[in-house]
Amino acid sequence: MLPPAYLADTAPGRGARLAPRSWLRTDAPTLSLSGEWAFRYSPHAALPDDVAVPGLDDTGWDRLPVPAHWVLQGDGAYGRPAYTNVQYPFPVDPPHVPDENPTGDYRRRFDLPADWPAGAQVALRFDGVESLYRVWLNGEEVGVATGSRLAQEFDVTGLVRPGENLLSVRVHQWSPASYLEDQDQWWLPGIFRDVTLVARPLDGLGDVWLRTGWDAETGWVDPEIVAEEAAFPVTLRIPELGVEAVWDSPAAVARIEVGPAEPWSAESPRLYDATVASRGETASLRIGFRTVEIRGDRLLVNGRRVVFHGMNRHETHPERGRVFDEAHAREDLALMKRFNVNAIRTSHYPPHPRLLELADELGLWVVLECDLETHGFGMHDWAGNPSDDARWRDAYLDRIERTVERDKNHPSVIVWSLGNEAGTGSNLAAMAAWVHARDPERPVHYEGDYTGEYTDVYSRMYPSLLETREIGTDGSLAPLLGCSPAQGARQRTKPFLLCEYAHAMGNGPGALDRYEALVDELPRLHGGFVWEWRDHGLLTRTADGTPFYGYGGDFGEVVHDGSFVMDGMVLSSGVPTPGLHEFKAVVQPVRFAFAGGALVVSNHRHSASTADLRLVWRVEHDGRPVADGVLEVPEVAAGSSATVPVPGLPVAETGETWFTVEAVLAEDASWAPAGHVVATAQLDAGRAASAAAPAPAPARVRGWQPAAGDLRLGAAEFAGGRLVRLGGRVVSGPLLELFRAPTDNDEGGYSNPEGSDASIPGTSSAQLWRAQGLDRLVHRLVSVEEAPGALRTVTRVSAANATASVTVEQVWTLSDGELELRVEIEPSTGWPSVWPRVGVRFELPDDDRGPAVSGVEWFGLGPLESYPDSLRAAQVGRYTATVDELSVEYARPQETGHRSEVRSLALGGPDGADLRWDFLPDGRGRLPGFTLSRHTPQQIAAAGHPHELPASTTTHLIVDAGQHGVGSAACGPDVWLEHALRPEARTLRMRLRA
């Protein structure tokens, strides 16, 4: 059987489709059709033609909830989710799709309420169906629609009847529209947002748009009311402002000056309740006064430059997929606010409409993106790309119209985005033209318009730091991506934003602070949006029932893109990653500097003062609190700073003194309780007073003699020159460790546009490390010598078939009862690439040879993991954690848990502290870091999911002289030069105690 013609039709839909309009709350009757529907699934499009037949007996059909994705229901009975990034999961044969086209037939009977208004138009609204659906009411065809994340209303006035009605819907997973919906996410078919029957009284409101503006104290409303003559008079009321405007006819509707009003901003999301009442219908809105404007290369809201500290936000939930849940969404946005996120880009489609009400209320700038991406054509040189093919023009225009019309009332929405990664072409230009005509105020964004032919802001994803600087300056007129010098000059006249940067996949991203520094320095740069907010893991189970968060390939997909969908700042479980803590610290809206005994407090906010904050401080000696207080600071206006004296600090006589200041919420906010820390900084007050004492020189040992190396030095026992016991428990090592379980960024093959020698373009660091055998080092003991109270070994470390080696000298000394180990790490010539780490590994088995290490107390940077290019959230302190708490459960196991600049650590067994390490800085004052894990880097690297890690009988302590940065090379720049770990000689010094 040939597929129905609509499955090869590029038109956005047909039938009784209504013009798009705002998603409004009105008192017109509605009937929710969400709930349980009869459902019949087929893996192909050729189904019996009876879905709409009123007499059909569907009692034998399955039941499926609406809203839901059918692949997330029924335990695989209705197919499974599939993840692809760029590639299409079907042949690229536009506009056709295969006959193997999962299709769901839905039926729902409903009674029209007895008091349903007679004479009203009746609309049937679908808020989201993936991807094409055909609708019948009482056996009569209503229409066909596409646009998965877009609302569609059908006029069913003539078809709906008193009493019982039968609604039938046939949904196809694949359709021509799928070519326009190639976003990097799960393919999740089904009716996944609400279905509602809506009465539209003839004297009611067709549509309402309350455009607002604000200028120096006063606000105004520019209303647009779509209504029949019969609906008038129409009254606008804003009770709090005493506004009541009555218009007798459509022609009378005009701008209303509201006088002094507080503006809306992401920081002070001041909303005013407004109603618009016609004869037959009253709509309730919450409006915010703000003016969006581009002046030169600045994007201004209410006259002030906006800096986006944003996140790309997909709609994703481990069990519901893209089905909206208000509590989850509210918490999502509140979590953003708690982490100093001030903006979202709704990548890459309009979210559930309620989300924007939450953004209005909680305060987030929104770049609202249309549901459009044709990225898969990019794999074929963009041949046949719908963006430049007139046959798809209507579909493109339909998408942007439904995007803008639905969400136009939101003060939070300040930029419209045409879509993502759809190449370029006249259909995109047509979308932009439509927006410019419809909403001249809000700028149009589309990253793929590299040369700036039809968009108002310049936007890029993942540019390097050097390119970002080039964009922010005119100096060199260096060519910009895809631009001639003249096109580049045009782009430099516009505000610039990073629609995506800092790919948050796995451990990382690094260098957030460097992007932020550029944004601070160069006002053309308006910040950006991290890719992305959340991992998209779907909760699933192994064959034996172990739950885990699945990614691409875990559902038997024919083609997929693996764990590339797990690139969020928040894990699928909802746990914020260390990367998000880093982001919070880097973008904090209040910044501190210490200068000559004073603290400079700078307010980096858009417009809010610091009146909502309190400054608290504390002093710690070697990580132990000794004093605290509150700092009296005058209110600091946005863009200003204030200098206050630092209180007289009790400086420790020995050890370190740290002064920590925190800006905390003075009162509860809707997104965090009073006391929530908004910004923080630390001052090394010990070193400020007296320079830290240099580490004592290592003990000079004389009289070395070759020896067997079977001896005891204090708490340490050695056999054959190797440590076997410490404080009576089995401890072996330390052995050189150069490997870390590659992070997603280490595995990234992104060529490094910085021209760095940190990586080889097109080859991932991890590939180079494996090729060199860093994960399979072997050892040869070269010499063992003893002297009174001392042991010295030299070991040559290398890998199979390699000539490059590292010579490791270990010198153990016992003097005045103090056991010290000095490790000299000396690379040979010939190491071709950066190293992931340079450290030594101790093993503490907990089978019959010793008790398990339960946890650690350390004094150093913490509390979370940190790496050389991600250190801003880390603070000097004294911390404790269990071994498991030290690791982050990234979706794909990888390097995790490194704590930097550690001064001392104590490992605890079940009965408390057992063993203690004190670290001495090396000759350049550098302190080591440590990792304590139940698995070796090699074991971690071999596991695809956390549950694949083997059972552990050993705790591994790695003391790192150095770690490579984390960078963003999973999709973006590699580790910044300064934080790349090149092979180099390093010294580790530590004192061990039992």
Give the integer Cα–Cα distance in Å for 122 and 103.
27
Q: Which is nearer to ligand GAL, 768 or 971 (CB)?
A: 971
DSSP 627-670: EEEEE------TT-EEEEEPPPP---SSS-EEEEEEEEESS-BT
Helix (H) or strand (E) holding 771: helix 765-772
Among the listed residues 154, 324, 531, 739, the single contact to ligand GAL using CB under 6 A: 531
What value, to the nearest 5°, has the Cα angle with vertex 857 and ends 851 and 859? 150
Enzyme catalytic residues: 421, 500
In angstroms, what is the C-alpha Rg of the chain?
32
Give the integer Cα–Cα distance in Å for 678 and 685.
22
Give the integer Cα–Cα distance in Å for 73 and 874.
42
Residue keyed to tokens 């990548």: 347
Q: Which is nearer to ligand GAL, 184 or 662 (CB)?
A: 184
Establish if 743 lies at the interface with ligand GAL (CB under 6 A): no
The total of other beta-carbon atoms located within 10 Å of residue 213's CB is 20
- Give least dist CB 357 to ligand GAL, A: 25
Q: Which is nearer to ligand GAL, 65 or 562 (CB)?
A: 562
Establish if 85 lies at the interface with ligand GAL (CB under 6 A): yes
Establish if 422 lies at the interface with ligand GAL (CB under 6 A): no
- Give least dist CB 504 to ligand GAL, A: 9
Q: Which is nearer to ligand GAL, 564 or 671 (CB)?
A: 564
Q: Which is nearer to ligand GAL, 529 or 671 (CB)?
A: 529
Q: What is the number of the residue whose Cβ is closest to ligand GAL?
A: 184
- Give least dist CB 420 to ligand GAL, A: 5
Torsion, Cα of 895, 897, 900, 904 (10° steps): -130
Q: Which is nearer to ligand GAL, 175 or 420 (CB)?
A: 420
DSSP 41: E
Binding to ligand GAL, residues 179-198 (CB under 6 A): 184
Among the listed residues 197, 461, 844, 966, the single contact to ligand GAL using CB under 6 A: 461
Count interface residues toward ligand GAL (CB under 6 A). 12
- Reference 27, options 280, 356, 237; nearest CA is 280
Establish if 421 lies at the interface with ligand GAL (CB under 6 A): yes
Q: Which is nearer to ligand GAL, 15 or 553 (CB)?
A: 553
Give the integer Cα–Cα distance in Å for 745 and 732.
31
Binding to ligand GAL, residues 319-348 (CB under 6 A): 348
Among the listed residues 297, 470, 567, 974, the single contact to ligand GAL using CB under 6 A: 567
- Give least dist CB 423 to ligand GAL, A: 13
The total of other beta-carbon atoms located within 10 Å of residue 952's CB is 16
Contact pattern from residue 770 through residue 809 relative to ligand GAL, giving x for each residue in contact according to CB under 6 A and a dash for the rest: ----------------------------------------
- Give least dist CB 230 to ligand GAL, A: 47
Contact pattern from residue 957 through residue 976 relative to ligand GAL, giving x for each residue in contact according to CB under 6 A and a dash for the rest: --------------x-----
- Give least dist CB 673 to ligand GAL, A: 34
Give the integer Cα–Cα distance in Å for 956 and 44.
52
- Give least dist CB 565 to ligand GAL, A: 8
Give the integer Cα–Cα distance in Å for 503 and 404.
28
Give the integer Cα–Cα distance in Å for 799 and 347.
45
DSSP 181: B
- Give least dist CB 847 to ligand GAL, A: 42
Q: Which is nearer to ligand GAL, 314 or 406 (CB)?
A: 314
Establish if 122 lies at the interface with ligand GAL (CB under 6 A): no
- Reference 353, options 334, 339, 366; nearest CA is 366
The total of other beta-carbon atoms located within 10 Å of residue 207's CB is 17
Question: Cβ(856)–Cβ(865) under 8 Å?
Answer: no
- Give least dist CB 524 to ligand GAL, A: 22
- Give least dist CB 128 to ligand GAL, A: 19
Q: Which is nearer to ligand GAL, 561 or 948 (CB)?
A: 561
- Give least dist CB 371 to ligand GAL, A: 13
Question: Cβ(150)–Cβ(350) under 8 Å?
Answer: yes
Binding to ligand GAL, residues 345-374 (CB under 6 A): 348
- Reference 643, options 656, 634, 630; nearest CA is 634
Amino acid code (one letter) for 671: W
Establish if 500 lies at the interface with ligand GAL (CB under 6 A): yes
Q: Which is nearer to ligand GAL, 191 or 530 (CB)?
A: 530
Give the integer Cα–Cα distance in Å for 298 and 389.
34
Q: Which is nearer to ligand GAL, 7 or 971 (CB)?
A: 971
Residue keyed to tokens 């500290």: 309
Among the listed residues 420, 833, 900, 939, the single contact to ligand GAL using CB under 6 A: 420
Give the integer Cα–Cα distance in Å for 850 and 730.
6
DSSP 887-945: S---SS--S---B-S-SEEEEEETTEEEEEEEEE--TTSPPPEEEEESS-HHHHHH-SS
Site residues (CB under 6 A) for ligand GAL?
A: 85, 184, 348, 420-421, 461, 500, 503, 531, 564, 567, 971
